[in-house]
Chain A
Amino acid sequence: MTTAERRADERVRKVGLASLLLTRPEIGAVVGAVLVFVIFAVWAGGNGFLSLAGTASYLEVAAQVGIVASAVALLMIAGEFDLSVGSVVGAAGMVVAICIGIIGLPVWLSVILAFAFALVIGFVNGYLVVKTRLPSFIVTLGMLFILRGLTIGITRAVTGRTQVGGLAATTDGDPIATIFTANIGPFSISILWWIGLALLATFVLLRTSFGNWIFGVGGSAIAARNVGVPVNRVKIILFMATAASAALLAVIQVLDVGSGDVLRGSDKEFEAIITAVIGGTLLTGGYGSAIGAVFGALTLGMTKQGIVFAGIPGDWYQAFLGVLLLAAVIVNNYIRQRATMTRH
Chain B
Amino acid sequence: MTATTAASGAPLIEARDLTKYFGSVVALHDVSLSVRAGEVLCLLGDNGAGKSTLIKILSGVHPPDSGEILVDGEPVVFGSPRDALQRGIATVYQDLAMIPLMSISRNFFLGAEPVSGFGPLKTLDIKQADRVTRTALKQMGIDLRDTSQPVGTLSGGERQSVAIARAIHFGAKVVILDEPTSALGVKEAAVVLRFIGQAREQGIGVILITHNINHAFPIGDRFTILDRGTCTGTFDKADLTTTQLLEHMGGGAELAEIEHELEKPIPVA
A residues adjacent to B (C-beta < 8 A): 1, 3-4, 7, 10-11, 23, 206-209, 211-213, 215-216, 219-220, 222-229, 286-287, 336, 339-344
Q: For residue B91, which residue of chain A has the nearest CB?
A: A226
Complex contacts, B112 vs chain A, CB 8 Å = 227-228
Which among A10, A209, A286 is the interface contact of B124 at CB below 8 angstroms? A209
Q: Is the CB of B185 within 8 A of A1?
A: yes
A220-B99, A286-B99 known; A229+B110 contact, CB < 8 A: yes
Which among A1, A224, A226 is the interface contact of B93 at CB below 8 angstroms? A226
Q: Is the CB of B110 within 8 A of A208?
A: no
Q: Is the CB of A342 within 8 A of B91?
A: no
In the complex, B98 has a CB within 8 A of chain A: yes
Q: Is the CB of A4 within 8 A of B187?
A: yes
Q: For residue B188, which residue of chain A has the nearest CB?
A: A3
Complex contacts, B99 vs chain A, CB 8 Å = 215-216, 219-220, 223-224, 286
Q: Is the CB of A212 within 8 A of B101?
A: no
Which among A10, A206, A227 is the interface contact of B110 at CB below 8 angstroms? A227
Complex contacts, B106 vs chain A, CB 8 Å = 212, 215
Of the candidates B97, B110, B124, the one having the most CB atoms from chain A within 10 angstroms of its own CB is B110
Complex contacts, A3 vs chain B, CB 8 Å = 155-156, 185, 187-188
Indicate with 1 or 0, residue by residue over B91-120, a CB within 8 angstroms of chain A CB atoms: 101001111111000100111110100000
Q: Is the CB of A1 within 8 A of B188?
A: yes
Which among B85, B102, B156 is the interface contact of A215 at CB below 8 angstroms? B102
Q: Is the CB of A228 within 8 A of B85?
A: yes
Complex contacts, B264 vs chain A, CB 8 Å = none
A209–B117 Cα gap in the complex (Å)? 13
Complex contacts, B186 vs chain A, CB 8 Å = 1
Tell me the minimal C-beta distance from A301 to chain B in angstroms.
29
Q: For residue B153, which residue of chain A has the nearest CB?
A: A341
Q: Is the CB of A206 within 8 A of B111?
A: no
Q: For residue A2, which residue of chain B has the nearest CB?
A: B185
Complex contacts, B98 vs chain A, CB 8 Å = 223
4 closest cross-chain pairs (CB), A and B: A340-B152, A219-B99, A209-B113, A228-B111
A23–B153 Cα gap in the complex (Å)? 12
Apart from A4-B187, A7-B155, A7-B158, 11 more pairs, CB < 8 Å: A3-B187, A208-B124, A212-B102, A219-B101, A225-B81, A226-B97, A228-B82, A228-B85, A228-B112, A229-B111, A340-B153
Q: For residue A7, which residue of chain B has the nearest CB?
A: B155
Of the candidates A213, A336, A340, the one having the most CB atoms from chain B within 10 angstroms of its own CB is A340
Complex contacts, B115 vs chain A, CB 8 Å = 208-209
Tell me the minimal C-beta distance from A337 to chain B in angstroms.
10
Q: Is the CB of A286 within 8 A of B102?
A: yes
A213–B107 Cα gap in the complex (Å)? 10
In the complex, B123 has a CB within 8 A of chain A: yes
Complex contacts, A340 vs chain B, CB 8 Å = 100-101, 150, 152-153
Q: Is the CB of B96 within 8 A of A212?
A: no
A58–B79 Cα gap in the complex (Å)? 53
Q: 21 A-B contacts, Cβ less than 8 Å apart?
A: A1-B187, A1-B188, A3-B185, A3-B188, A207-B124, A208-B122, A212-B102, A212-B113, A215-B102, A215-B106, A216-B102, A216-B111, A219-B100, A219-B102, A220-B96, A222-B93, A223-B99, A224-B110, A226-B97, A227-B110, A228-B82
In the complex, B260 has a CB within 8 A of chain A: no
Complex contacts, B101 vs chain A, CB 8 Å = 215, 219, 286-287, 336, 339-340
Indicate with 1 or 0, residue by residue over B185-200, a CB within 8 angstroms of chain A CB atoms: 1111000000000000
